[in-house]
Chain A
């Protein structure tokens, strides 16, 4: 399930499209993903911490 081929199955078209873009765009995609994941992780962690604190 976690092999490289199966990992890429779902979005090969997306991957090809992203690979065809200039380096700056690929960098922007990475920044955007990190931003989204970072904030979502921060919110999730805050909810867990606050939940444990006021349980």
Chain B
């Protein structure tokens, strides 16, 4: 019979005094509390700002939505000026009212670009959902590897590629217009076409920066919640840029 050692109660108490172990197992090396209603673990009763990962995610989301609200107002301001400029003219020397607005024919490649951007939104949503997929989260919580990063990263990378493809398509559209001698200052209509597509492309560049950061975070960050926040915020930003583009594209295609 193998030798076993069964500690007596005083022995147990003595050792527990030093390592704060209540006998239910030690805490893992990283903080993996869930914020549930377990013993002394009800994070909702804690002060604001210390209520766990869900609160942290909500805070980052809120910050992003405020930034996006500012962005939305920026684009709406451009669209408002677009509507006014479309009908505004000037009086010439003969007191005739001249409206110089000539609609700019949008390059057909923009339709393809729109499809690519919508597809990238789908891949980004798949990546975001992967980050919150419960079985994977539990697997990681139990310390069985990093399935979340492994399964989400390809979708983030796919989104990044599609985003770059969209920007390449936009560059192609600008080149096609330039070949038709349609430039920024050619006409009020072309002015708005370039203004809208340039500003959206700049915003998409920022989104690509966010995607690269999320991709880097998926490999570099040890904390699950940090990775979730990075991908979640990048996804919401990306979706917003997709919605903004659809809105702006419809404006350029049908409201000139």
Contact = CB atoms under 8 A, between A and B. Distances in A.
A36 B77 contact: yes
Given A22-B97, A36-B77, A39-B76, A31 B83 contact: yes
What does DSSP make chain A's interface, helix, strand, loop or mixed? Answer: helix
B73 interface: yes
Given A21-B88, A25-B84, A28-B84, A54 B76 contact: no
Interface in A5-55: 21-22, 24-25, 27-29, 31-33, 35-36, 39-40, 43, 46-47, 50, 54
Contacts of A22: 87, 89, 97
A36 B76 contact: yes
B80 A25 contact: no
Interface in B88-106: 88-89, 97
B87 A32 contact: no
Nearest to A38: B76
Interface in B53-92: 58, 62, 65-66, 69, 72-73, 76-77, 79-81, 83-84, 86-89
Contacts of A50: 62, 65
A32 B84 contact: yes
A29 B84 contact: yes
Contacts of A43: 69, 72-73
A35 to B, nearest CB: 5
A35 B80 contact: yes
Nearest to A21: B88
